[in-house]
Structure 1
């Protein structure tokens, strides 16, 4: 049943007015008021700055129209214009200034008495125009400045946001690099990220090292102890490998595979490998681990590059890799075995013994060795004879030392070329050479010669360079040298100048002692001579090993190394000014044509004059990449000629000639 809207539930009639006045009418009014208030609030929020400027303008106008002396209050209009320019921008400020000028001009025309200041109407209008012009300029100028500031602020905010994004990316990059460098050689990681690694065939040296009896030790001890000791071993050998610029290819349990000459193609890679091996063996003897180390090194062409698909690693493959591994397997504990290619590279720098195919372990060997000592004594006493040399050759042959036997037989044949007995022995030794002196390695079709590296040659103790009497007289001084010798050795390995530091240091000390210098200065000269070429590390290795002449640009580049030496020594903690001056000026010439400062004569520190002569002698009598060592007499003659040209201090050179 429908109900009439004009009736109540009891059927009583009600008026239309009362019905309209009820809820529907009340709800519409309340909703409209709320919407209006909301719109007003939103308008005020959006245009708050404009409303604020408008209120200021109204206030200024009120002050202008209420107070007397209105002409004096014209400058109050700068306030709303400045606010409009700063808050609303140049365009709106310009329009505001025009409106103010119009209002003031109209007011001046309508009420000229308000602006009368002792002049006529024309002058008043001119003054208003001038004032208005400045008002417009102010609005435009401040508005432009505000827009530039706003633009600059926005640009700064944008750059700040980009910087935050960049910083996050940089932090992520650093984390990735740290993770990458802990799992990969930093040099390889850097070259890989730069896309500079490629697969190529290159001559390098490969080292394998392995701990003896490690398997038995690991079976008999808890895992944490085994890993702790193994990491201790790795912690000692890693810095040595890195110092001599080796690339750790992989760890194989207790073994390590290392490449020298890759990924950076150092020319003296074989020398670096052998020096690293010698220092590793020295370190193993010092740290007292329960194992002994054996090392095998081979040199030759291998394929190097990033290998793998999803997980890549920089590695080397080829025959020389296999040879290095087999040499390590047959190597005796605490020894270093190298192949013939490596031997040819390092022969001028280290003491090497060629191995025969069996050790001196037989009982008969002891008798033969004693017989050989007697024959060598007789040879020294009686001189050479074909019979004595023949007997020595037979003894060497009995010891399976075929090369030494062949040498003795050749000398015997030179004295007695018609001896059939010597000829037959000579032929037999040649036939047996490979059998006696070469080794059959697993996986190799032909036997190879194997050499054992014993020690680094000392040029200071080489009697062909320094007289024995001098070396013996100053042997106690050598023990007083307190410098980072391994660091110097690593730098010397870059160009094969092994032993240069010790020779220059000791010879400089001898020269200083003969010149009666005080003890402090002599010690400074000793250390400076040892360390003065440490800055060569900054010179590209291909320039150091260049066999052809250097260009003018390369010569200038090389000359900068003395300053790099000083900088490196300061980083190492050397702050003695006398010491650093010697290092800095050891390439100055007596005639003033040296470097880096072109000092002349007595201006050059005495220590630098001494080490310059010692270094010249060392360089001439040492092996260089472009020539062999000079004879002492030839070196002294060259130094004498250069002294006459004005290169060296004549007094120091005279002392050198007295010593040698």
Structure 2
């Protein structure tokens, strides 16, 4: 009974339709006029189509048609109000067709409706799920919004802590790396730009005289502390002049210049670095004397070693530098002939003889005479008698190589001059006797002992009166050399700042500029190009036309100069503005600020004129020096184009012309 009840509840629609159909069949069976009741069959068929679908509606219609046709075949009397029997079947056929069609249409409509209802239910379910998810998301968003500030603070704190840890690790790695390898080498190694190659370099080898006896009887801690203090002082010069520290050898060390970065003037970097080290040691309280040997030449450079590698140099260049250092008298610097040829324009040196090691007394009188004659020859480079006299004095002093160069200059000016020919021949013979044999070399060569740097203020383009009157002021300025010289050496312009400052100061004095502005001009004159260190050395020494990128790089140097000055405590406003604007024109063109509305100070305009004149009258990597007349003529064109202040240039021109030609 229960199963029947469950079946009826589960299939109520089918049972109800079947009941209606049976009721219609019963009524039809009892009705006397069958044709009149045929339309009753539409009721169960339409209900079947609505509740049960297309299939059951069509099957029910067929069942009704079969049943009615069976009635008609069994007993056609109830259908006889139709005249012909064929008409009965025709009417039944029409009725049956409409019955099937009605059932099919209603069934199809039901199925479509059912599909839409189910789709609506699915959409409704999805909507409810979306609504639930939206409410959940809204709740989470509300919670997130309420806690956003604290979460941001927490994330920021975590990021800050992570960054601090990374920075600490980076600093530790860099510290370890820098203690074992040159930072430039390390960076190039990381970037895979370090190559094994043969290149021209300069090698400096240093040693401390009598260091071994000094350490005997002293505590190890005291010795190491003192030695580290000395090496720390020397490392400042190494960094300033771009030296690569190859190795420490107890109290000595070996440096290379021109590697890994191939600076054009690496020999000059090495010699100036050595001179500055010597000067520092002479003025310090260290109880030792330094010996330095410098050579220049081709060598093989690269990374060598097994698990632990080092960037070093191989070849005669390093061996010869070590040998030169051992030949030095304490407190002196020896260089080879190649280094001398590359640096002779900037340094004073004399031929070194082996017996100089034990020689105690120097002929100071003849040295002063030679020095005076050299200064005169700089001012009068075409004085033949002066050149021959200087050559003879150098022969007398024993410097046959320099003597030969002066005799050769005289012969070029006067090819038939007998005194010059004889002097040149004698100097050549003596040069052969000066050759020193070193182990490992098949031929001898000349060594030179460096006396120091030449006087940068001596120039044929600068009146001697100006140098005598203001030279001491320029030389006594307290500007650190390491802020000026390294940038000048890279571009081969050593002494540019000193000569520019001398000319600018003399012009300012001539124009009655105040003392404070003149002092600002001295500082600005020395430091106006220190920002060149951010410009690639290949650009500064480029002999071909500069690209747009090269020009833009150079035009950034005034701003960099100001930044460097501020880092070193130079904060005087007039000085900084002078440096920043020394490439601005009176019409506010130029760089770094094109079309600036800010007025250009008078000392900046003075510095601009002095710098251009000095640059034109001195040698540059891409051209030879101009004579003063040609330089002034070229600057006249710049005045016409608005580059220089006409009034200031007129005063400058008069100062130069009257100084170089006092009788005119």
SS of residue matched to 1:607: helix
1:510-589 equivalences under 5 Å are 510-589=506-585
CA shift, 1:312, in A, is 1.1
Give aligned pairs, total.
518
Q: Is it true that 1:478 corresponds to 2:474 in the alignment? A: yes
CA distance in 1, matches of 2:427, 2:308: 53
Q: Would you say the 8 A contact 1:368–1:395 is kept in 2?
A: no
Change (3 A) 1:536 1:146: farther
CA distance in 2, matches of 1:418, 1:512: 45
Deviating more after overlay: 638-647 vs 390-399 = 390-399
CA shift, 1:585, in A, is 1.0
Q: Would you say the 8 A contact 1:360–1:366 is kept in 2?
A: no
Q: Is it true that 1:142 corresponds to 2:135 in the alignment? A: yes
CA deviations over 1:408-446 (Å, ceiling 9, x no partner)? 699699999798x9988865653442222x211122111
Change (3 A) 1:308 1:330: same
CA distance in 2, matches of 1:206, 1:392: 31
CA shift, 1:539, in A, is 0.8
Q: Is it true that 1:223 corresponds to 2:220 in the alignment? A: yes
CA distance in 1, matches of 2:498, 2:138: 70
CA distance in 2, matches of 1:632, 1:579: 28
CA distance in 2, matches of 1:147, 1:367: 94
CA shift, 1:184, in A, is 2.1
CA distance in 1, matches of 2:631, 2:410: 31
Q: Would you say the 8 A contact 1:495–1:544 is kept in 2?
A: yes
SS of residue matched to 2:624: coil
SS of residue matched to 1:459: coil
* Corresponding residue for residue 95 of structure 2: none
CA deviations over 1:536-562 (Å, ceiling 9, x no partner)? 111111111111110122112211111
Change (3 A) 1:398 1:137: closer
CA distance in 2, matches of 1:418, 1:589: 51
Task: Mark the structure with the bigger radius of gyration.
Answer: 2
1:87-106 equivalences under 5 Å are none
Q: Would you say the 8 A contact 1:413–1:422 is kept in 2?
A: no
CA distance in 2, matches of 1:422, 1:529: 42
Q: Given the two structures, how large is their TM-score scaled by the length of structure 2?
A: 0.68
CA shift, 1:619, in A, is 1.0
CA distance in 1, matches of 2:316, 2:429: 27
Q: Given the two structures, how large is their TM-score scaled by the length of structure 1?
A: 0.69
* Corresponding residue for residue 434 of structure 1: 432
Q: Is it true that 1:195 corresponds to 2:192 in the alignment? A: yes
CA shift, 1:273, in A, is 0.8
SS of residue matched to 1:174: helix
Q: Would you say the 8 A contact 1:357–1:435 is kept in 2?
A: no
Two-structure CA RMSD over aligned residues (Å): 4.3
Q: Would you say the 8 A contact 1:205–1:297 is kept in 2?
A: yes
CA shift, 1:615, in A, is 0.7
CA shift, 1:255, in A, is 1.1
Change (3 A) 1:422 1:486: closer
CA deviations over 1:131-189 (Å, ceiling 9, x no partner)? x9999886443323456799999999999999978875664443232212122222222
Change (3 A) 1:150 1:647: same
* Corresponding residue for residue 185 of structure 1: 182
CA distance in 1, matches of 2:562, 2:324: 42
CA shift, 1:484, in A, is 2.7
* Corresponding residue for residue 43 of structure 1: none
Deviating more after overlay: 243-252 vs 196-205 = 196-205
CA distance in 2, matches of 1:368, 1:163: 70
CA distance in 2, matches of 1:553, 1:282: 39
SS of residue matched to 2:342: helix
Return the match for 2:204 from 203, 207, 232: 207
CA deviations over 1:514-571 (Å, ceiling 9, x no partner)? 2222222222122112111111111111111111110122112211111112222222
CA shift, 1:291, in A, is 1.3
* Corresponding residue for residue 47 of structure 1: none
* Corresponding residue for residue 396 of structure 1: 395
Change (3 A) 1:422 1:586: closer
Deviating more after overlay: 556-565 vs 406-415 = 406-415
CA shift, 1:648, in A, is 0.5
Q: Would you say the 8 A contact 1:406–1:430 is kept in 2?
A: no
Q: Is it true that 1:595 corresponds to 2:591 in the alignment? A: yes
CA shift, 1:364, in A, is 13
CA shift, 1:345, in A, is 1.9
Q: Would you say the 8 A contact 1:353–1:453 is kept in 2?
A: yes
Change (3 A) 1:253 1:548: same
CA distance in 1, matches of 2:240, 2:143: 56
* Corresponding residue for residue 308 of structure 2: 311
Q: Would you say the 8 A contact 2:411–2:417 is kept in 1?
A: no
CA distance in 2, matches of 1:354, 1:347: 12
CA distance in 1, matches of 2:566, 2:422: 66
SS of residue matched to 1:555: helix
Q: Would you say the 8 A contact 2:544–2:622 is kept in 1?
A: yes
Change (3 A) 1:652 1:267: same
Change (3 A) 1:614 1:407: closer
1:68-467 equivalences under 5 Å are 139-145=132-138, 171-356=168-353, 358-359=355-356, 396=395, 399=398, 401=400, 404=403, 430-436=428-434, 438-460=435-457, 462-467=458-463
CA distance in 2, matches of 1:409, 1:484: 38
CA distance in 2, matches of 1:199, 1:134: 71
CA deviations over 1:327-366 (Å, ceiling 9, x no partner)? 1111222211111221222122222323345449889997
Q: Would you say the 8 A contact 2:327–2:357 is kept in 1?
A: no
Q: Would you say the 8 A contact 2:410–2:420 is kept in 1?
A: no
CA distance in 1, matches of 2:216, 2:620: 50
Flag structure 1 segments of 5+ consecutive residues without an equivalent: 1-131
Change (3 A) 1:145 1:249: farther
CA deviations over 1:356-410 (Å, ceiling 9, x no partner)? 454498899979969x99xx9xxx9xx989xx97998599379473663796699
Q: Would you say the 8 A contact 1:403–1:433 is kept in 2?
A: no
CA deviations over 1:162-218 (Å, ceiling 9, x no partner)? 997887566444323221212222222222333332211121111101111122223
